[in-house]
Amino acid sequence: MNTICLMNNKGGVGKTTTTINVAYCLSKKAKVLIIDCDSQSNLSNSFGITEPSISVYDLFKRKSVKPINVRKNLDIIPSTGDFAGADLIIQNEFARELILKKQLNEFRELYDYVFIDCPPSLNLVTINALSASDYVIIPVEASAFSMSGVSSMIEFTTSIKEMINPDINILGLLITKYDKRLKLATKILKQIEEKGWERAFFNTKIRINTTIAASQDEQKPILEYDSKSHGAIDYVSLTKEIINRVKNGL
Ligand SMILES: Nc1ncnc2c1ncn2[C@@H]1O[C@H](COP(=O)(O)OP(=O)(O)OP(=O)(O)O)[C@@H](O)[C@H]1O
Ligand SMILES: [Mg+2]
């Protein structure tokens, strides 16, 4: 079981979109579980789940949950609005950073990949997600790219690695909502080079593509909704890179 979380405390950068679409592409070849750790429940709603019988909150309450099947080889543990206050409640728990890691043990033999969609904040739920993961993918929106934003996500991951989860590595930084006409500023590219970060970026960039939003309105992954769209082509390409990076090490 490879566990991968999608993390960035900036909202709207494509964490949920990437979770939906990479998980769906992977489910063609592997058993995949997705976990919605955001009380906004965008991931759950994207699969038409609004009033689930089990939720991620049950998982954090250390209950045993049976994930909901949404497609062949693709299961979800959805979120609900009441999960909003969860991080305050688990503050007082014993080993509060490791609740999710412990809970995922029971799925170890059942899935090849687990994806955890984080909320747009660095709260205790996000710390649990990073502590339970082998890899993190950090999506960054092309038009709002900031070195300090990316640096702080890398530093946050590094401190989790040093203090809680030595097994975690950054699988890649992912440029999303990319528009070829708006080249990443030369200054930024130079800074990326200076920091030696080029290899950290996936070669695939997710282009801006209105079909992606339309597919979510229809509660379908992009590959199912329009397999010829740029969005589908980009997410298939990203999925191949993810498989290779996981298989060959970083
Ligand atoms: N490549 C893309 N092209 C066009 N629209 C996109 C693309 N990727 C994501 N979107 C749209 O941008 C919005 C934000 O994306 P998404 O929900 O995946 O971000 P997020 O990082 O999960 O946000 P939050 O932090 O609020 O959970 C959504 O409406 C989604 O449909
Ligand atoms: Mg989201």
The residue range of the domain holding 168 is 2-248
Environment class of 14 (CB within 10 Å of its CB; exposed 0-12, middle 13-18, buried 19+):
buried
**Residue 119 pLDDT exceeds 90:** yes
**Do the beta carbons of residue 56 and residue 114 sit within 8 Å?**
no
Average pLDDT (2-10) is 97
**Residue 185 pLDDT exceeds 70:** no
For residues 101 and 99, what is the distance between their CA atoms, to the nearest angstrom? 6
- Predicted confidence band of residue 187 (pLDDT cuts 50, 70, 90): confident
Instruction: Write down the pLDDT at residue 192.
Output: 82
Number of folded domains that form the chain: 1
**Residue 229 pLDDT exceeds 90:** yes
Task: Determine whether the shortest distance from the Cβ of 22 to ligand 1 is under 6 A.
Answer: no
- Predicted confidence band of residue 194 (pLDDT cuts 50, 70, 90): confident
Positive or negative CA dihedral for 107, 85, 39, 240? negative
Task: Determine whether the shortest distance from the Cβ of 177 to ligand 1 is under 6 A.
Answer: yes
**Residue 184 pLDDT exceeds 90:** no
CATH number of the domain where residue 241 is located: 3.40.50.300
**Do the beta carbons of residue 206 and residue 175 sit within 8 Å?**
yes
Task: Determine whether the shortest distance from the Cβ of 126 to ligand 1 is under 6 A.
Answer: no
pLDDT in tens, 68-103: 999 999 999 999 999 998 988 899 898 999 999 999
Average pLDDT (13-27) is 98
For residues 35 and 231, what is the distance between their CA atoms, to the nearest angstrom? 22
For residues 135 and 152, what is the distance between their CA atoms, to the nearest angstrom? 17
For residues 244 and 103, what is the distance between their CA atoms, to the nearest angstrom? 27
**Residue 236 pLDDT exceeds 80:** yes
Query: Of the residues 10, 16, 153, 230, which should be mutated to test ligand 1's pocket, given the most ligand atoms within 8 Å of the CB?
Result: 16
**Residue 113 pLDDT exceeds 70:** yes
